[in-house]
Structure 1
Amino acid sequence: MQVVNWLPRTELPFAAPSRPELLATPEPLVVAPVTPAPVAEPPVEPRVKPAERVKIEVPRPSLASTRTNAKVEEEAAPVAIKAPIVPPPRFALQLLRAGRCLVLVELPTGETFQARDPAYLLLKDMLRAAGLPDSPQIVGEPVRWPLLARGTMDQGPEAARDFVQGFVSARLEDAPCVCLWLIGLPAIRFAGEANAEAFNRELQVEGLGPVWALPGLELLMEEPQRKADVWQAMRRLMARWKEPNE
């Protein structure tokens, strides 16, 4: 109970007398506040700022400008365009001599003419109508393209044209003619450097001289109405190959 001193209210029998100092009320102890002595602050030394370096701003390209420049350079750079691979053309041509004319004709079946072939019989009729021998002489072997079934040799359209023109030009040097007949689209395309629009027209080909472009024999058999146009063009050109005394 934290009781330091205890005094009875009445005098206890047979108790020892109380001590007077215990009955005196002690004066309250007053504690005076202690003021700390002032502490002298050390003098502040002036701080000397070091000399500042001059900053040089180096311009750095932003990410957006870098991407833009890279895109511009990419667009400006030449793009290598691969040339499309063109399959080699396929055709078979036979060179014939009929009087003063040479005839470069497409072989409809790819094989040499036989005596009873309908295409060959039609060719004989055309030569007879033109006033030329109807039994033409074969000149050389047929020109079959492509030349090779395999290999890395260029056998595209330009190579085919050079080969056909070189072949015909060499035969013309052996025996010149007054007019070269080109019968069939392959003959017109690779010897005359023309297309189907040249049917029944006379052309001038460098190295080959005057040539006459005609539809193929198979096309004339399938579309007989084309024979009339061939006949009209033939009448205009017959003077070229007829002998002067005829």
Structure 2
Amino acid sequence: MQVVNWLPRTELPFAAPSRPELLQALEPFEPFEVSGEEAAAAVAVAKPAAQALERPTERARVEVPRPSSAARPTPVVEDTPAPVVKAPVVPPPRFALQLLRAGRCLLLVELPTGERFQTRDPAYLLLKDMLRAAGLPDSPQIVGEPVRWPLLVRGTMDQGPEAARDFVQSFVSARLEDEPCACLWLIGLPAVRFAGEANAEAWYRQLQVEGLGVVWALPGLELLMEEPQRKAEVWQAMRRLMALWKSTHE
């Protein structure tokens, strides 16, 4: 029971006499003084221990984020450059033209076969008939070599429609500087298109072309042979224009 000293209330018979020092009253307890620094240190040590005893031990928990119902941001996609659309490559036009002179008129004629006229060619015989009907010499003189387009089979030179037009007009303009004419006949669609800057709608009409003067647009010789009814329209237009070259020819 951990009893150090025990004193009976009454004298026990046959007991040994008590020791006098044990019967003296104990001095009252006086608390010892503690400095401020020692007290603060003791509080600092005791406070965490007390909080640890008061707070139950908590297990470490790992918070796992839950998927939210909010819409996720759409990822930003950088604008990619649009593919470069190349202009379609226009093949060079293909034609052959022959320049002829009959009296005061120049004739830029489409060569149906691409080769020079022969005296017995049906197209050339039709041309002679047209010249006689117009009151012009029926044996026209050939002026220069035929103009064949494209000029080159290979190479990087531009041989498109605009280049063809510039070349044909420059060629005819140079011949006109050598000897002017009263009217330039453009026979065939290539001649009308690349010298007169017109199309089939201009057939049988008189046009004014800068650098070339007065021109007359006509269908090709092969087309006139395939569609003879067109000859009547040629004759009607010729009668209206004949004064242009007859006044200077006679």
Residue matched to 1:18: none
Structure 1 position 156, deviation (Å)? 1.2
Three-state SS of the structure 2 residue aligned to 1:170 is: helix
CA distance in 1, matches of 2:46, 2:248: 139
Change (3 A) 1:245 1:174: closer
Where structure 2 has 5 or more consecutive residues not aligned to the other structure, the ranges are: 1-44, 50-71
> Map of 1:2-13 to 2, 5 A cutoff?
none
The count of residues paired between Structure 1 and Structure 2 equals 186
CA distance in 1, matches of 2:243, 2:156: 47
* Residue 193 of structure 2 is aligned to residue 189 of structure 1: yes
Q: TM-score, normalised by structure 1?
A: 0.70
Structure 1 position 87, deviation (Å)? 1.1
- Kindly provide the CA deviation profile for residues 121-174 of structure 1, in whole angstroms up to 9, marking residues without a partner as x: 000000110111111110000001111111222111111111111100000000
Q: Is this contact kept in 1: 2:95–2:149, CA < 8 A?
A: yes
CA distance in 2, matches of 1:44, 1:245: 132
Residue matched to 2:97: 93
4+ long deviations beyond 4 Å: none
Residue matched to 2:211: 207
Structure 1 position 100, deviation (Å)? 0.7
Q: Which amino acid aligns with 1:129?
A: A
Structure 1 position 43, deviation (Å)? 1.6
Q: TM-score, normalised by structure 2?
A: 0.69
* Residue 170 of structure 2 is aligned to residue 166 of structure 1: yes
CA distance in 2, matches of 1:82, 1:126: 47
Where structure 1 has 5 or more consecutive residues not aligned to the other structure, the ranges are: 1-40, 46-61
CA distance in 1, matches of 2:200, 2:248: 32
- Kindly provide the CA deviation profile for residues 20-67 of structure 1, in whole angstroms up to 9, marking residues without a partner as x: xxxxxxxxxxxxxxxxxxxxx92249xxxxxxxxxxxxxxxx963622
Which residue among 206, 226, 239 is the counterpart of 1:235?
Answer: 239
Three-state SS of the structure 2 residue aligned to 1:42 is: helix
CA distance in 2, matches of 1:179, 1:245: 12
Change (3 A) 1:157 1:131: same
Structure 1 position 206, deviation (Å)? 1.1
